[in-house]
Chains A and B, each alone.
Chain A
Amino acid sequence: MLERIYKAQTIMANACKKLGRQINIMEVCGTHTVSIFRNGIRWTLPDGLNLLSGPGCPVCVTDQAYIDAILSLAQRDDCLIATYGDMIRVPGKGGSLETDAFKNNVRIVLSSEDALQLARDNKEKIVVFVAVGFETTAPATAVAVKEASKENIDNFCILCGHKLVVPAMETLLSGKNDKIDGFLCPGHVSTIIGYGAFENIAKQYRRPCVVAGFEPMQIIEGLAEICRQLAEGESSVKSVYTAAVCEKGNQKAQKIIKDCFDHAQGRWRGLGNIDKSTLKLKKQYSRFDAYIRFGIDPLAKSDESGCRCGDVLCGLIKPADCPLFAKDCTPTKPVGPCMVSSEGTCAAYYKYERRK
């Protein structure tokens, strides 16, 4: 293993030397961010290689208005909120789902299926599933909606916050952050969408895209491959996660998503409105759409919380550059979502980076 690490380190160091400037690589996925910190990978990289954490943590990219919408639904006596655990501590107007006032109206679920079961078991309540995540969690939501439709479970609905990875990467490159030299592409999402999905970024935007798994060795070799391409003036899509990711991805899962959802404009924290970047329930499933059921505007603007999570998500600043980091905003008292989620960039910096 040490030999492989040394080889990768040499490729990275040579690329930095050849380009004569800092190389900025964005790891898009929150699980990569955590693995990078947990394994101390940054410590093994040459000085000239800078890692930026991208908009790949599903909790972090949800807009403030979405959080506020959940909180307002949690206040209603006729609603039961079913959410993944990560969302529970994200602060919004007047607290978070963890606040005592909501404790009878909020349930943590491990899957969309659990949320649907809640609806079956609590007929007197409208169960609202907080459907967040990228292409990885969207198929499971789609399955739950289809089942609800088949069984006519009318007290089930979803507040769809599912987002698509590629439009966010393209938005970053279209003016938001032109410092990014290449992408370490998300492993989980790529199992669904396939590495072919990044072809446009490599061709049109001329940025190397390498899909990697979450083992430290894979991440290091993925970074080395990006550096190699940069040094040789290439930009292509590669996968070093060959065990799980193929070019076309999981077509069955893609079909389930397509059957259930349309692409729609969506609001992202830090990135603003992006065309065709979120999933919206198709008309035939609109009775399960919480936006319609409760008259919530999915593109509503919201007050800023004062933290700079948005800039962190775009790789424009490091967490320590945010004036609130580690002072007013800590994992026990988070101000922004990046400090809440276990996959959040700020939480990872806070937890694993030396702060002497």
Chain B
Amino acid sequence: MTAAMAETKKILLAHGGGGQLADELIRKTILARLGEKRPEGLEDSAKINLSSKSICFTTDSYVVKPLFFNGGDIGKLAVCGTLNDLAVAGAIPVALSLSFIIETGLEIDILEKIIDSIAKTARQNNVHIVTGDTKTVDAGQADKIFINTAGIGIRLKTADLGFDKIKPGDKIILSGSIGDHGITILSERQDIKFQTTLKSDCAAVSGLTSKILTGTTGVRFMRDPTRGGLAATLNEICRQTGLDIEIKQSQIPVKPAVQAAADMLGFDVLEIANEGKFVAVVSPACAEKVLRICKKHPLGKKAKIIGQITGASDTPLVEMETIIGGRRIVQMPYGRELPRIC
């Protein structure tokens, strides 16, 4: 292979320059692999016909390192993460945007793998990628590839969610085991090998949340406990509602390998990021029904009622009854996050 040929296998600054190379990259590498049907000329905006006036709109950027990890990759994460933000707002995802910031020198092979993963995840979740952008930057100005996605979803008529809907006595449901994503990323970054294989939980929960919201009334609020983990999500609920929360450690599912790795690395598993889980605050009357719906779905098999909203308080706190019958507060994690996990 000549040096020139080898060069073309990598992203060049010109790939983001709006010229011929850029056009080729967009048409041959990105659009072809995404497999989206679209008009001949690439227009500046996507036109979308929506069946409802009540929509949800969200955006998120993804900078995870490493790009590929057990259970997912930055592409899958970029689709799932945004779908989950729509899902927990009570929306059915319709369309996504997809933007890349790529560091010069990234192998096109790697980009192709990421795009294939994006395409697969989008297809599996019935969502279309309708618009996008590609920029390239000099070596050292970005770390391989950053992705931004934005998403539009149609809000389910039955979804009437918000912090203001939460009442004392409401139950807190967690859709499955915690810490899987954060611990997987962290151990791969630090090249720590455990006997049991750790796997990120990266997945879109929109299928399950829409089943819950169409199957029951009484869901007050939902959130996906990503950065800051379950601890951050519960503390946010506490802060926004002024209500105390009580949870039971014995009811919180944690995989033994995740717990062992967290202990070894000195982390509290409650503060570790998840990428395929949600917390739902529901009325006591519908809690069991929500749990039944969860357990029938592959992403909610391990769902549990982990606690409840107790009462109003001047200094609202999240308190946990520990496995040995002790008590402790669960605090908002300090801002210094584990480096770049989503």
Contact = CB atoms under 8 A, between A and B. Distances in A.
B268 A38 contact: yes
Contacts of A2: 325
Given A332-B334, A332-B335, A342-B266, A37 B328 contact: yes
Interface residues of A, number: 25
Contacts, number: 61
Nearest to A40: B326
B324 A216 contact: yes
Contacts of A1: 323-324
Nearest to B331: A351
Interface string B297-341: 000000000000000010101011111111111010011000000
Contacts of A40: 320-322, 324-328
Contact of B325 (A44, A214, A342): A44
A355 interface: yes
Interface string A95-129: 00000000000000010000000000000000000
Contacts of A331: 334
A44 B324 contact: yes
A147 interface: no
B138 interface: no
Contacts of B266: 342
B317 A354 contact: yes
A2 B326 CA distance: 12
B204 to A, nearest CB: 32
Contacts of B268: 38
A42 B326 contact: yes
B318 to A, nearest CB: 11
B235 to A, nearest CB: 12
Given A214-B263, A354-B319, A355-B315, A38 B328 contact: yes
B190 interface: yes
A199 to B, nearest CB: 30
Interface in A317-335: 331-332
A21 interface: no
Interface string A196-238: 0000000000000000001011001000000000000000000
Contacts of B328: 37-40, 43, 352-353
Given A342-B266, A356-B315, A41 B329 contact: no
B170 to A, nearest CB: 21
Interface in A2-17: 2, 5
Nearest to A85: B336
A230 to B, nearest CB: 22
A276 to B, nearest CB: 30
Nearest to A350: B331
Interface in B22-71: none
A232 B265 CA distance: 39
Contacts of A217: 324
Nearest to B322: A40
B264 to A, nearest CB: 11
A39 B324 contact: yes
Contacts of B321: 40
A41 B322 CA distance: 9
A353 B323 CA distance: 17
Contacts of B315: 355-356
10 contacts: A5-B324, A39-B326, A41-B324, A41-B326, A43-B326, A43-B328, A44-B326, A216-B322, A354-B317, A356-B315
Given A44-B324, A44-B326, 11 more contacts: A1-B323, A38-B268, A39-B328, A40-B322, A40-B325, A40-B327, A43-B322, A332-B334, A342-B266, A351-B331, A354-B329
The 3 closest A-B pairs by CB, nearest first: A40-B326, A43-B326, A40-B322
